[in-house]
Amino acid sequence: MSVSRRHFLQTAAATAGAAAFGAPAFAEDAILVGSLHDLSGGLDIYGKPMVDVLTFAIEEANAGGGLLGRQVKLINYDTQSNMQLYTQFAQQAALKDKVAVVHGGITSASREVIRPVLDKFKTLYFYNTQYEGGVCDRNQFDTGVTPAQTVEKLVPYAMKKWGKKVYVVAADYNYGQITSQWVKKYATENGGEVAAIDFFPLDVTNFASTISKIQAAKPDFVWSALVGGAHISFYRQWAAAGMAKSIPMASTTFGVGNEQIVLNPDECNGMLVCYNYFQGVKNPANTAFLERFHKRFGADYPNVTELAMGTYQGFQLWADAVKKAGSADRLKVIDALETGISIDAPSGKVTIDPPTHHCILDVHIAEVKDRKFDLLEDFPQQKPADTAAVCDLKKNPNDNQQYIIKF
């Protein structure tokens, strides 16, 4: 059989046309979810559980038929605890991969790196970490707890238990700087005092001089807002100096990287923390979640952390909003979220607070005990009052900044 030149060109053109036509149809099949988390470097103690849970949530969604009849696909970028990679991958997610939403950012520093990028390129952003509060940005939703929800509860609790004088040690970037100011505010308001606030860059591992300064100041308790793998040595050196038994400690960060498992029980037993989620929270949604999660990741999975649960809940809120909007389009999803969407999450009821884009949720005070957390007191349905005091996206939808607490 002979093929004429004309016939060949016609067929080839038709095939090429079909291919060009077909490609976008295939790409549209899946809804893409970008994940920017540190899976290596000093912050991976936080990032790994977050990505595990996000993977799990997406697998669950797909097993249930996906969203709007489409599969959900996770595109995972390992930011390697490196701020430059945050910029680079945020751009890649928004421009090259064109994801429908980005979940991620762990430290407040990394959030402030990617927030403007995702604003600029109009990509919806979920920040799922507990943080210092105050971010006011219509493109961003914050599913983690903020100081008015946690520090406000924990400071008076610790002061009642131990005394009025607190010494603060904190990581040296916006999170630690701002959170320590909140600790100071609540300590002062409750009639206490802050002896001193010390800041440490994330790679500091020698805390000897600080420990003797703390001993000289003789506080009733120490408040830790330390972050990352290197800072774990503070707790070790503190215990090695025999201080764990004489001066108690409260923290806004301890345990979110599973420090309670890494350290020996006698190095950290009795420490007080306050978060939205602990594995021991008792409700049917949590029992069911843990059963499914352990089936997927093994019964010996160390612990589902506060940040991991924030990520799970962030994804669920977004998924519900997509269903409600009937579209993964950014503005339609934001509108749906701003109706005050609410889910029955493992940590309890979680509702988006429309004016601040933060969440109304339960918090609990707990105590470290033998590598686990013992729940001591529950505070149901706490509002993000700190951010609400400065931010109203209903009135000023174009507001776009992080407010910082001032005295």
Partner 1 sequence: MDLVALLAIQVLYAIASLALISVGLAIIFGMMKVINLAHGEFLMLGGYAAIEANRYGINIWIAMLVVAPLVVGAIGAIVERTIIRWLYGRMIDTMLATWGLSLFLVGLTTAVFGNTTVGLSAPLGSFEIGSYRVSAYTLFVIAVAFVTLGGVLAMLRFTRLGLVARGAMQNANMAAALGVNPNRVYSVTFAAGAALTGLAGGVLAPVSGVFPTIGVAYVAKSFITVIGGGAAIVTGTATASALFGAVNQLATYATTPVFGEVALLAAAIVLIRLLPQGITGRFFRRSL
The least distance separating partner 1 from the CB of residue 264, rounded to whole angstroms, comes to 5
Cα separation, 267 vs 152, in Å, equals 26
The least distance separating partner 1 from the CB of residue 146, rounded to whole angstroms, comes to 26
Length in residues, the chain: 407
The least distance separating partner 1 from the CB of residue 208, rounded to whole angstroms, comes to 5
The least distance separating partner 1 from the CB of residue 218, rounded to whole angstroms, comes to 8
The residue (of 45 and 194) whose beta carbon lies closer to partner 1 is 45
**CA of 58: how far to CAs of 30, 52, 307, 320, in Å?**
12, 10, 17, 13
Judged by the rule CB under 8 A, the positions of this chain that interact with partner 1 are: 39-42, 44-45, 48, 172, 198-201, 203-210, 212-213, 215-216, 229-230, 232-233, 236-237, 239-243, 246, 262-264, 267
User: Which letter does DSSP use for residue 107 in this model?
Assistant: S
The least distance separating partner 1 from the CB of residue 215, rounded to whole angstroms, comes to 5
* Composition of the chain by helix, strand, coil, percent to 5: 40, 25, 35
Nearest to 94 by CA among 25, 144, 53, 36: 36
The least distance separating partner 1 from the CB of residue 109, rounded to whole angstroms, comes to 16
Nearest to 35 by CA among 80, 111, 91, 101: 101
The least distance separating partner 1 from the CB of residue 43, rounded to whole angstroms, comes to 10
Cα separation, 215 vs 196, in Å, equals 12
Dihedral angle sign, alpha carbons of residues 203, 208, 212, 215? positive
The residue (of 263 and 366) whose beta carbon lies closer to partner 1 is 263
Token pair in block for residue 394: 């209903």
Q: What are phi and psi of 191, to 5 degrees?
A: 80, 15
Cα separation, 321 vs 327, in Å, equals 9
Cα separation, 341 vs 130, in Å, equals 20
The residue (of 363 and 368) whose beta carbon lies closer to partner 1 is 368
User: Which residues on neighbouring strands pair with residue 211, listed in sequence order?
Assistant: none
Are 136 and 113 in contact, with CB atoms under 8 Å apart? no
Are 158 and 128 in contact, with CB atoms under 8 Å apart? no
The least distance separating partner 1 from the CB of residue 314, rounded to whole angstroms, comes to 23
Strand residues in 185-271 grouped as ranges (E): 193-200, 221-225, 249-251
